[in-house]
Amino acid sequence: MKTSILGFIAISLLISCKDNSTIAQKEIKPSPQQYTINQFMDSESIWGRSFSAENSSVLVTSNRSGIYNAYTIPVRGGDMTPVTQSDSTSMFALSFFPEDNRILLSADNNGNEINHIYVKEPNGVIKDITPFEGAKSSFYGWAKDKKHLYYGSNKRDPKFFDVYKLAIEDYTSTMIYQNNDGLDLSEISDDENFIALSKPLNTNDTDLFLYNVETKEMTKINDNNSANAAQGFSKDNSTLYYTTDDGSEHAYLASYNLNSKEKKPLIEKSWDIMGSVLTTEGTYMVVYTNEDGKNTIDVFETETMTPITLPDFGNNSITNVGFSRDETWMGMYVGGSNTPSNLYTYNLEATELNKLTNVLNDDINVEDMVTAKVIRYKSFDGTVIPAIYYLPHNASKEHKVPALVWVHGGPGGQSRQNFNPLIQYLVNHGYAILAVNNRGSSGYGKTFYKMDDKNHGEKDLQDCVEGRNWLAGLPEIDPDKIGIIGGSYGGYMTMAALTYTPEEFEVGVNIFGVTNWLRTLKSIPPYWESFREALYLELGDPFSADSVRLKRISPLFHTENVTKPLMVLQGAKDPRVLQMESDEIVAGVRKNNVPVEYVLFEDEGHGFMKKENEIEAYGGILKFLDQYLKNGKPPITKETPETEIKG
């Protein structure tokens, strides 16, 4: 899978190509109730589902307090109990301990991505067990003996993550793999004799290696350049499961026998298999497939690979599942594009289903939300571009609405059929949205995936322009009121659109987008070293002749071309897209006497985590769009808003 440098936070039924008249023939519904941004954000974002040792409760992460904290919920439902009560830095739940009620947590410093691992002790004390100044630590999982955990840290060398084994009795750790070659850990066998490691060749292909801890031998698993990712070892330590697209357009699940070296495919589909997980004792295997931007879940009995029957949730889908350690309980998230995912537990022995959460604000009628539709259109060169379309309920030929082209993060990301509160908020207030999966997006095969290599800001931008043209041809869309919006790489595409195709879009909303590729590629965090060269192969090497092209496609150097109103949002602690990127693009565009609004959050990174900031950001976006897109073009004046600093 292509490595995503700038993924914007944020995984329907397949609908074949439709012409514009088909889309227009929707049932016209009465105007839905409109909801405020506070009502939207009063919904809850929740994830995770680690079961306690005795299966009495489930550990989750939620932002119900306005900031992310850890909570427990009784396994059959009930009140949520806070594990952490931070009011400044988000605290994320990782796992219950295997045999006691201690809880593993992770946190950084307001988005700087330097995560540490913490333990919530039974006495309530929260202890940093990776207190290494300036070093990033990542939880890799529990050892088979339940007395140790594995983690990665770049404390020895900022560029590379070594692998450590930590005793949970006294929190002392021992290095079990020193990473001198820029490899990334994927999996560890239960007997600790083998470690699966990966090395990006480029952003499309990844080599997969098997390291023998005893002999120090390193074996390369794949024979050809392909996308390979370890998924786990069998419980008898004889087999490595991995996904690969070797010899195929789409990734499939394969196995590698550690003794015979035999490789064979296990599960192949017409879409990418994104991953697979074995339960603690190996009784079940969960397989995730990306079907046209929507998760499909299969759970198999491992011994026979017979699928088990899962509960039926009607129009909603199971998007994620996990098992208790004794394999008697499942935790599953269920939702859709028009409703956020709720957490359920399911007892396999008693076939008992329990709903644990109700995350959508009770004030919001789900019927007022819009269900996404997958459409496809042809780009300038005949390439078929998939996209996800959201149309306001009351849009019609007689009631035309403004529209936005939405561009995902990446490069190499994908707009998916998940609930997106900002999209639903804008659609609820009368904006149609076309979430374009331009060439280079993941999920549509490796040929499509590679099509944007060293074409950024060019052919992928033309895909977005053709998305705009597709919208303009719909009878329910006002062709004179179409803007563009995106975050991270999508923010770059927004600026590229306003800079290189200045007459195509009426407004742009840039959410922490790259504007100077030379600086961004030179200033990537040291802990990205393992795939730095891969990024250079796709985007260009800023220290080579590629710098000429990188400057040409960087909007910062061409701000004189921008003539349409612009909004920019940025987190001051963002380590991926530095604040100066947004500072400078705002200053450059303001010289054109173009309306520019700039909102800077002092306590955010690459993605906004605090509800009060999301309310300010999303509400501000709607106000900006209402002023400069929905209500027509305002006169350009010399007076433009100053930077608004939040947080």
Parse the chain into domains and list their residue ranges.
20-27+364-646, 269-359
Options 3.40.50.970, 3.40.50.1820, 3.40.309.10, 3.40.50.10540; CATH of 20-27+364-646: 3.40.50.1820
Query: Has residue 485 got a pLDDT over 90?
Result: yes
Spatial separation of the C-alpha atoms in residues 253 and 122, rounded to whole Å = 41
pLDDT value at residue 203: 81
pLDDT value at residue 12: 32
Spatial separation of the C-alpha atoms in residues 425 and 439, rounded to whole Å = 27
pLDDT value at residue 569: 97
Q: What is the pTM of this model?
A: 0.91
pLDDT, average across residues 100-105: 96
Query: Has residue 29 got a pLDDT over 80?
Result: no
pLDDT value at residue 528: 83
pLDDT value at residue 640: 46
The model's pLDDT over 380-403, given as tens digits with 9 standing for 90+, comes to 999 999 999 999 999 999 999 999
pLDDT value at residue 455: 86
Q: What is the DSSP string of 475-511?
A: TTEEEEEEEEEEETHHHHHHHHHHHHSTTT-S-EEEE
- pLDDT band at residue 31 under the 50/70/90 scheme: confident
Q: What is the DSSP string of 367-432?
A: GGS---EEEEEE-TTS-EEEEEEE--TT--SSS-EEEEEEE-STTT----SS--HHHHHHHHTT-E
Torsional sign, CA 110, 116, 117, 122: negative
ω into 635 cis (within 30 of 0): no
Tokens coding 473:
């041809």
- pLDDT band at residue 8 under the 50/70/90 scheme: very low
Q: Which of 388, 422, 416 has its CA nearest to residue 35?
A: 422
Contact 182, 201 (CB under 8 A): no
pLDDT, average across residues 54-73: 97
Q: Which residue has the higher pLDDT, 162 or 634?
A: 162
pLDDT, average across residues 251-257: 98
381, with CB counted inside 10 A (0-12, 13-18, 19+), is exposed
The model's pLDDT over 308-333, given as tens digits with 9 standing for 90+, comes to 999 999 989 999 999 999 999 999 99
Q: What is the mean pLDDT of the chain?
A: 92
pLDDT value at residue 371: 96
Contact 299, 332 (CB under 8 A): no
Q: What is the percent of the chain with per-residue pLDDT over 90, rounded to a whole number? A: 85
Spatial separation of the C-alpha atoms in residues 440 and 215, rounded to whole Å = 40
pLDDT, average across residues 73-78: 98
Spatial separation of the C-alpha atoms in residues 609 and 611, rounded to whole Å = 7
The model's pLDDT over 200-228, given as tens digits with 9 standing for 90+, comes to 988 889 999 999 999 999 999 999 999 99
pLDDT value at residue 629: 97
Spatial separation of the C-alpha atoms in residues 35 and 477, rounded to whole Å = 22
Q: Which residue has the higher pLDDT, 189 or 88?
A: 189
- pLDDT band at residue 30 under the 50/70/90 scheme: low
pLDDT, average across residues 39-43: 93
The model's pLDDT over 324-370, given as tens digits with 9 standing for 90+, comes to 999 999 999 999 999 999 999 999 999 999 999 999 999 999 999 99
Q: In 10 A of CB 351, how many CB atoms? A: 9
pLDDT, average across residues 486-499: 97
Strand 263-267, strand 272-278: pairing: unpaired
The model's pLDDT over 118-161, given as tens digits with 9 standing for 90+, comes to 999 999 999 999 999 999 999 999 999 999 999 999 999 999 99
SS3 annotation, 549-604: HHHHCCHHHHHHHCCCCEEEEEECCCCCCCHHHHHHHHHHHHCCCCCEEEEEECCC
pLDDT value at residue 445: 95
pLDDT value at residue 110: 87
* φ/ψ of residue 400, rounded to 5: -70, 145
Query: Has residue 530 got a pLDDT over 90?
Result: no
pLDDT value at residue 538: 87
The model's pLDDT over 582-630, given as tens digits with 9 standing for 90+, comes to 999 999 999 999 999 999 999 999 989 999 999 999 999 999 999 999 9
Give me the CATH topology for the region 269-359.
Lipocalin (2.40.128)
Query: Has residue 27 got a pLDDT over 80?
Result: no
pLDDT, average across residues 476-495: 97
